Amino acid sequence: MAETGLQNVTTAHSRIEDIKNRKFDFVVSRAVAPLKELWRWSKPLLKTKNATVQEQSYTPGLICLKGGDLAAEIQESNTRPKMMEIAELFPEAYFKEKYLLYLNR
């Protein structure tokens, strides 16, 4: 984690169904399933208390990478994620129509 400058961070590459008896501040995912399923799988793994990061308060939640037209997928999930266009950070054509979605607990 030295490359990122982040402290007090642990990462794990695993399948969500293999995680037992642990709680996390955040679950991070690529577009591996519909948002409805990602949220259903992630919610039980999230802590219920606020996490404090550099004097800012964040509610534990799911952060996922999704692409394309997400309107129907979001509606089906019955959630209201915060969305950020990745192209705002990285102007390369590859990132056009790709988003970071955040659902808080």
Residue 103 has which token pair? Answer: 């659902």
Q: What confidence tens digit (pLDDT) does each residue in 28-86 have?
A: 998 789 999 999 999 999 998 765 555 566 789 999 999 999 999 999 999 999 999 99
CATH number for 83: 3.40.50.150
pLDDT at residue number 24: 87
| pLDDT-wise least confident of 10-14, 71-75, 83-87, 95-99 | 10-14
Query: Does 10 map to a domain?
Result: no
- Global confidence as pTM: 0.80
**Secondary structure of residue 43 in the 3-state scheme:** helix
Give domain status of residue 4, yes or no.
Answer: no
CA distance 52 to 58: 6
The answer as to whether 9 is a domain residue is no
- N-terminal to C-terminal alpha carbon distance within the chain: 26
HEC profile for 77-96? HCCCCEEEEHHHCCCCHHHC
Three-class DSSP category at 9 = coil
Domain count, the chain: 1
> Which residue range is the domain that position 24 belongs to?
16-104
Q: Is residue 6 included in any domain, yes or no?
A: no
